[in-house]
Amino acid sequence: MTIGVNCGHTISGAGYGAVGLIKESEHTRLVGHALMEKLRAAGASVVDCTIDTANTQSEYLAAAVALANRTDLDWFISIHFNASPSRAGQGVEVYTYEGKQYQDALDVCGNIASYGFKNRGVKAGSGLYVIKNTKAKAMLIEVCFCDNEQDVSLYNSIGGADTIAQAIFNGIYDYAVTPEPVEENHDMAFEEFVEYVGEIARQDWIDRKIMLPSVVVAQAIKESARGTSELARNANALFGIKKNGWTGKTYIKAATEQKADGTYYTVDNTEWRAYGSWEESILDHNTYIAERSTDSGKTLRYGPIIGCEEYVLVCQYLQDLGYATSLTYAESLINDYIEKYDLTRFDAVEDELAPDGKLWVVQLGAYKSKRNAESFIRRLEGMGIISLLKQYNIEE
Ligand SMILES: [Zn+2]
């Protein structure tokens, strides 16, 4: 598959784009470059048909078309942002030759609209130079209105250029994820599945002490329908974790969410994290709990969960801190899974007792000089740590 991408307009002078709350020329490039990257990563050939400078507007257009027509393209895609004199225009629209309702064009327009932009539809763009003069099937996308406050704030809030690029990519590319060859045996009976997840969760609890194993197992069973869900089968994902900053592979399917009043709604084209194996999914789930922050790392969203040894609390925190929108999430984890299947057995970690006459000592410092030792104690006390000064022999 070969795709020509034109980041609309030049970067200065003749052919420069609209300037609203954001600059068209700047954002056509952000979207276009992200799109090209996604296409290349998916194995498509990409022809960059962007023109940065020209002496006149018509020279810019002719140069873009000349680039496009040099190669046999499956699609020529020109990216733009709209503007209107009243600044009141809103929404996404796509132009094709004679307004042909190509499925890909409808999908691109619909995917972008699914984020909340008004869907202005696929329209006739036969008068547009790049549509009329390119040999390939062509679409010109007006992502949204760069001078409209609501459109721009929506564009920013959904993740801006990268999200738009993904929506375009999903519309034009056969985006089914090709799962890596699965080396794990996924054909497990329920008991085997529980043991499999439990052992990985228990080992990670010993290694990193992030999330209590009984809760990890309960979530895995519930969220993956015992390893049979679409995400478990096609994306090796046992937990429904949305993209949220993930740079790995993603899988696209709708999300079902519940509102505070109990009613449900669907979000189409949601991007979910995809993995090479179920094990990777379990470990990433714990990493996600340990690292998820919505304020650039200043606070950890799931801080209270990390290292917490009480499953009832962990489940309640998950719900209260917004891991899931279901209003019965905590209750279900506890009653339907942890207690029903005795999952706390994975929480018990083996311990090693010191032999008779010995103790495990946590050593914070050791000094020849008593003055230095006392100064160290004062520093510890400053951190709220009470310590004991004692002479030890150092024969061992
Ligand atoms: Zn434009």
Distance 130 CA to ligand 1 centre (A): 11
Distance 315 CA to ligand 1 centre (A): 50
Domain annotation covers residue 130: yes
Judgement on whether residues 335 and 223 belong to the same structural domain of the protein: yes
Distance 162 CA to ligand 1 centre (A): 19
pLDDT tens digits in sequence order for the chain, 396 residues long: 889 999 999 999 999 999 999 999 999 999 999 999 999 988 888 999 999 999 999 999 999 999 999 999 989 999 999 999 999 999 999 999 999 999 899 999 999 999 999 999 999 987 899 999 999 999 999 999 999 999 999 999 999 999 999 999 999 886 434 444 456 678 889 999 999 999 999 999 999 999 999 999 999 999 999 999 999 998 999 998 988 878 788 888 888 877 888 788 888 788 899 998 999 999 999 999 999 988 877 889 999 999 999 999 999 999 999 998 888 999 999 999 999 999 999 998 777 888 888 888 877 888 899 999 989 988 888 887 777 777 777 665
Distance 16 CA to ligand 1 centre (A): 8
Distance 7 CA to ligand 1 centre (A): 9
Distance 45 CA to ligand 1 centre (A): 25
Judgement on whether residues 220 and 125 belong to the same structural domain of the protein: no
Distance 367 CA to ligand 1 centre (A): 72
Contacts of 5 by beta carbon, 8 Å cutoff, 6+ apart: 32, 35, 36, 39, 46, 47, 48, 49, 50, 77, 79
Residue 311 maps to which CATH number? 1.10.530.10
In total, how many domains does the chain have?
3
Cβ–Cβ under 8 Å, residues 140 and 95:
yes
Residue 21 maps to which CATH number? 3.40.630.40
Judgement on whether residues 212 and 153 belong to the same structural domain of the protein: no
Judgement on whether residues 126 and 167 belong to the same structural domain of the protein: yes
Provide the domain limits for residue 340: 190-346
Distance 128 CA to ligand 1 centre (A): 11
Distance 80 CA to ligand 1 centre (A): 4
Judgement on whether residues 275 and 256 belong to the same structural domain of the protein: yes
Distance 278 CA to ligand 1 centre (A): 45
Judgement on whether residues 140 and 199 belong to the same structural domain of the protein: no
Contacts of 344 by beta carbon, 8 Å cutoff, 6+ apart: 214, 311, 338
Judgement on whether residues 248 and 129 belong to the same structural domain of the protein: no
Cβ–Cβ under 8 Å, residues 31 and 37:
no
Last residue of a domain, one of 120, 138, 172: 172
Distance (Å, rounded) from C-alpha 105 to C-alpha 96? 8
Q: Residue with structure tokens 């740590």?
A: 385
Judgement on whether residues 275 and 372 belong to the same structural domain of the protein: no
Three-class SS of residue 266? strand
